[in-house]
Amino acid sequence: MSDKTPVLEMRGLDKSFGPIDVLHDISLKVHEGEVLCLLGDNGAGKSTLIKTLSGVYQPTRGEMWMDGKPVSFANPREAQNMGIATLHQFGGTYPLMSIGRNFFAGVEPTKGFGPFKAFDRAKANRIAVEEVQKMGITRITDGDRLVGGLSGGERQSLAIARAVYFGARVLILDEPTAALGVKQAAHVLRIVKEAKRRGLAVIFITHQVMHAMAVGDHFAVLIRGAIAADFRKGERTREEIADLMAGGESMADLEANIEGYMETHDGHPPPPAH
Amino acid sequence: MDMISNLLRRPAAASVLSLVGVLAFYILIAGVDFGKLMGAASWVNYAARIGIVALPVGLLMISGEIDISIGAMIPAGAMTTAIISGHYELPIIFGILGALAIGVIVGTINGVLAVRTNVPTLIVTLATLVGMQGVVLAGSKLLTGSASVPLTAPDWAKTVFGQLMFGGSHQVVIVWWVFFAVIFWFVLHQSRYGNWIFAMGGDKESARNAGIPVNRMTILLFILTATSASFVGMCHAILFNSAQVSGGMHDIFNIIVSVVVGGVLLTGGFGSVPGIFVGSLTFAIVNKGIDFTAIDRNWSNLIIGVMLLVAVAMNESLRKLALSAAIGKRGKQKQDAPMSAASGEQRLPVPHSRRVERNEGPTDV
């Protein structure tokens, strides 16, 4: 797969806000049908990287390439038009609107002509239900139901199905499983795999190593704005990744620390360090 | 049974129930003669007067904003018409256009301020409300030397905006109200713009990302509310042959109560035009229908307060019903459905980096 041109490539991306360097020399690529997992703890620069990729910020230095051509996005709309879809948690869905209306928000199919162009509800509902079912959510059968009644995983899936339907080539998922229960997260991971199977390039941002390992082909760990590790599936164990994310500290050491403290302090855990 | 629950899930359900409740109370307990009430014009005229403004205000509230400057715009529209066509004796058409123009201007100011600043629209329109009251009072004193201006409208204007030609004391605003309601119904529920308005109220940022022209729609909605208010004022000036600076203040709350009773969610994203229509009707029946009872009319505000609470409570529970019954077949799928965000999350034991960093070596206590 590495001989093909990557769909999206970052070459030496830097981003600073005034004197503060947030991203430093980020070089990553993602191919069609591949899931790139961006791991990193809070404050590692994940969201800044997403925002740079989706056109909210412009990189201070470095280049972005799509299909072997350099690109730059002046605003999120341009990135969207190039096929980069960024989905934040629950973003892009409106709880008190029907599934069909959600799916086509902003790009409604209409029928009729002139001032009497009406929203084609039947068509919108049919396509929305079809597309969501194709993603493997067979529970949704009625496009008139309100999205707020769906589970968190289903809402995520609806947003992903929407992005796929409207021609996204790169899917950036910002912590899609963070607030979900085990079952719901598994649901979303299935959808991510489905998107991958359809040939989308997926950038999956998370700090849950288990979720990343379940779907990822390629992993990059961000620490303080720089790539601390870049490896492919099967090259690291779960513990190694968790340690990397924790900033090089060994989780085992930390656990031993806490346990040692608890033994000498009547079973009380250590107070949080401030 | 399924049909009933489907009906209850519609956004207008609570307003219809409120209407039925109020009518039942008036007829069964307060002894109102139903035939006499139906034949009376007072409440229909009043419903139309607040209803015309309630429609765009409802749409604006669905989009997540609010406009209280309507309270100043009703007298502003009336005074503009009276000053232009009454005091300066220009043809009435200039008075009509002037009233609509002042609506467009103030609406644009509201809209642009709402879009450009992060000030909540309650505050923005509170400022224009107070500001416009000052402008109207000072302006009419300056131009006419009085706070009350007479106006004689020609017959055609009376026909279009004043008294209904046939049938006693019904006013033409009723026809305008129904006409606007149909247009707003089409826009909100049948056209793509309605979808945009709902999306804006649901999640403004997502709506923007989806390519919806949020700013343009917001400004447009503010223009509609202010202009509809000045339209109502203009109709009144033509109907009553005069305009006064005072009046219109309590209309703000009457209109917002109508919209809320009509099932519009104060925080936006939910509501319907049929609901707003019935809400205005219900409000007008409470307010004017009390004259048909033996009850002292000062009690009407108490009834309105109670009705508002009951209607909002009904709206809340009916909306929950609509949400909980979101998926086709109920019952067997219940187990895995509602356990989303609330349920426990499984995470690997990865603590925050801050804590880890400081944990180098033995921890200080």
Q: What is the pLDDT of residue B99?
A: 95
3-state SS string over A41-78? CCCCCHHHHHHHHCCCCCCCEEEEEECCEEECCCCHHH
Using DSSP bridges, classify how beta strands A110-111 and A61-66 pair: parallel, antiparallel or unpaired: unpaired
In a domain, B326, yes or no: no
| Interchain contact A259–B (C-beta under 8 A) | no
| Interchain contact B270–A (C-beta under 8 A) | yes
| Interchain contact B199–A (C-beta under 8 A) | yes
Q: What is the pLDDT of residue B184?
A: 96
pLDDT tens-place string over residues A23-54: 888 899 899 999 999 888 777 888 888 888 88
**Chain A residues within 8 A of B355 when measuring between CB atoms:** 272-273
Residue B174 sits in a domain of what CATH number? Answer: 1.10.3470
* CB-facing half-sphere around the CA of B296: CA atoms within 13 A: 3
Per-residue pLDDT band at A252 (split at 50, 70, 90)? low
In a domain, B9, yes or no: no
* CB-facing half-sphere around the CA of B149: CA atoms within 13 A: 33
Q: What is the pLDDT of residue A55?
A: 85
Give how many domains chain B has, as a whole number: 1
pLDDT tens-place string over residues B127-147: 999 999 999 999 999 998 888
Look up tokens 């034949």; give the residue: B39
Supply the range of the domain harboring residue B221. 15-316
| Interchain contact B152–A (C-beta under 8 A) | no
Q: What is the pLDDT of residue B219?
A: 96
Buried-exposed string B17-26: b where 16+ CB fall within 10 A, e elsewhere = bbbebbbebb
pLDDT tens-place string over residues B82-124: 999 999 989 999 999 999 999 999 999 999 999 999 899 999 9
The phi, psi pair for A66, rounded to 5°, reads -125, 130
- Joined tokens for residue A97: 């609107």
* Nearest-by-Cβ selection for B327 from A76, A116, A145: A145
Buried-exposed string A73-84: b where 16+ CB fall within 10 A, e elsewhere = beebeebbebbb
Q: Which residue of B has its CA nearest to A152?
A: B340
Interface test with A, best of B350, B363, B365 (most A CBs within 10 A): B350
B323 with A272: Cβ contact below 8 A: no
Q: What is the pLDDT of residue B222?
A: 97
* Nearest-by-Cβ selection for B346 from A110, A149, A182: A182
Q: What is the pLDDT of residue B248?
A: 64
- Joined tokens for residue A135: 């993603």
pLDDT digit string (tens) for chain B, length 365 residues: 566 777 777 778 888 888 898 888 888 888 888 888 888 888 999 999 999 999 999 999 999 999 999 999 999 999 999 999 999 989 999 999 999 999 999 999 999 999 999 899 999 999 999 999 999 999 999 998 888 889 888 888 888 888 776 666 888 899 999 999 999 999 999 999 999 999 999 888 888 878 889 999 999 999 999 999 999 999 999 988 888 887 567 888 899 999 999 999 888 899 999 999 999 999 999 888 888 888 888 888 888 888 888 888 888 888 888 777 644 444 333 333 333 333 333 333 333 333 333 333 343 33
Interatomic CA distance for residues B205 and B191, integer angstroms: 21
In a domain, B280, yes or no: yes
Interatomic CA distance for residues B52 and B171, integer angstroms: 13
In a domain, B342, yes or no: no
Q: Is the dihedral of CA B326, A148, B63, B217 positive or negative?
A: negative
- Joined tokens for residue B80: 């503009």
Interatomic CA distance for residues B27 and B34, integer angstroms: 7
pLDDT tens-place string over residues A56-98: 888 998 889 998 889 988 887 788 888 888 887 766 788 889 9
A8-236: CATH number: 3.40.50.300
Using DSSP bridges, classify how beta strands A218-223 and A226-232 pair: parallel, antiparallel or unpaired: antiparallel
Q: Which residue of B has its CA nearest to A250?
A: B356
Of A99-103, A157-161, A174-178, B336-340, minimum mean pLDDT range: B336-340
Q: What is the pLDDT of residue A19?
A: 85
Domain regions of chain A by residue span: 8-236
Do A137 and A162 touch, CB atoms closer than 8 A? no
ipTM score for this prediction: 0.76
Interatomic CA distance for residues A126 and A227, integer angstroms: 44
pLDDT top residue among A126 and A115: A126
* Nearest-by-Cβ selection for A150 from B207, B326, B364: B326
**Chain B residues within 8 A of A93 when measuring between CB atoms:** 203, 206
B339 with A41: Cβ contact below 8 A: no
Question: For residue A10, is pLDDT > 80?
Answer: yes
Cβ neighbours for B252, distance < 8 A, ≥ 6 positions apart:
B68, B70, B71, B129
pLDDT tens-place string over residues A220-248: 888 888 888 888 888 888 778 777 776 65
The DSSP-derived string for B57-124 is HHHHHHTT----THHHHHHHHHHHHIIIIIIS---HHHHHHHHHHHHHHHHHHHHHHHHHS-S-HHHH
| Interchain contact A213–B (C-beta under 8 A) | no
Q: What is the pLDDT of residue A155?
A: 85
Strands (E), chain B: 148-150, 242-244
